[in-house]
Structure 1
Amino acid sequence: MSSVFDCRDEAQLLAGMRHARQAIARGELIVLPTDTVYGVAADAFAPAAVRRLLEVKGRGRSQPPPVLVANQSALAALVQSIPEPVQRLVDEFWPGGLTIVLPAQPSLSWDLGDTLGTVAVRMPDLRLALELLEETGPLAVSSANLTGKAAAVSAADAQRMLKDGVSVYLDAGFSETGIASTIIDATSLVRRGPDDPTEPRVRILREGAISRQQLESIIGDLLEPAPELAPEPERGGESLAEPDPSSDGTA
């Protein structure tokens, strides 16, 4: 049976945070508010808990969850390196609605799914979430909804979809923005050797809380140009536009 705590009430907030920490330590799932949408969270270093997170959402290993961290130091511990342009983005937009994909630190013992050696990391701009992350360490966090459904903007939304698959729900009212984070891929900025032919570019995987214009203002031409719109199909033909695989899943 799930427990729900109204974190707008100081007494329930303290109890809820304690129960959430204990649930994470037991390898269970929790739902927490963030500055974007509600997220469902598991200990990032507990493979069984991460598998449970994917199962509850109805996702496979091909859609690994991002990781939320409490500070920039935690980012440095999770990734292979932080290129200077990425550091500029972090300084400008963290804490906030920017998720950054980088090569993961190869020495880490975890299993987030089929990540191809990368990790998506974000520092949320919400005191409750940051205080919990300080206590638990990095959490694997995906939007608190069933795959294919709209992201949850309240704990009640999340509970209707995830039900007793989650042990603890932390309710802080409706999310402030209801807009998911922007996801960027900065892996090409980390060179794999002196002969690496990859052109260093930052690619937007999903535009959300942080706009393309905001990103351009910080890193300029390093941002990959916006893709051209697909041409209109001929009458009776099929659309050439591909669905966005990252439209769901990141808090």
Structure 2
Amino acid sequence: MGWARHQIRLLLCAVQFLTRVPTPNLSTFEPDWITRSARYFPLVGQGVGLVSALVLIGAERVWGGAVAAVLAIAVGLLITGAFHEDGLADTADGLGGGQTPARRLEIMKDSRVGTYGVCALGLILATKGAVLTSTPVLTAAVALLAAHGLGRAAAVVAMRATPYAPQGEAGKWKPVPQGVRPGEVLAALLFAAWPLAFLPPGAALAGVAGGALLAILMAALAKRLIGGHTGDVLGAIEQVFELGFLLGVAALA
């Protein structure tokens, strides 16, 4: 019973960290709970994706594909407070605008959004909208559900696979000494995988391949330019995985 109660606390911690959804206050809190709750990040993402998918299906019947796609993306932004999108914009500004690792991290700390951030955010959101519009609505809805969960899982993998950037204070997440454990990464991947069963096998495979490719490229770029990941980089990894996944699914749907 104590183990189950603790898992519920970790799930609530993940919801509080990743979204603006009201949750009961935690009576106690330990510094490593955010890291320990990473196993549940995909489940939180799937909750966001489910609401977005339902909005997409409902709005498509009333207004058609383009408006439905915009509303589905918008509701996801509202639920999360544009949490990962903020990380994407900060990462684009930092990696694109700085000449040294220290300067790149300094730019990422700045709350203002620069040209690189605006362009990256605008292009990714516009491409997501175009992909959702061009994909059959039920397939697009399942793809949204899957993309939100798998994108969070990709960030959890990056937390384990890449080092925390030197002097990295740019993000909202700070690591703990032991980091994300292998079992927690495995749990996150298992939680993230189940929606793939509702997509055509070829489309699911293409989506995972496309998302993984963009996530790996983003992680490798961050490691080369700043020495690893920060919270903002994890947000960027989540976003580019979503984009690659939706593009892959749409290509074979």
Per the TM superposition, whether the score is higher than 0.5 is no
Larger Rg over CA atoms: 1
Q: TM-score, normalised by structure 1?
A: 0.30
What's the TM-score once normalised by structure 2's chain length? 0.30
The structure with more strand, counted as a fraction of residues: 1
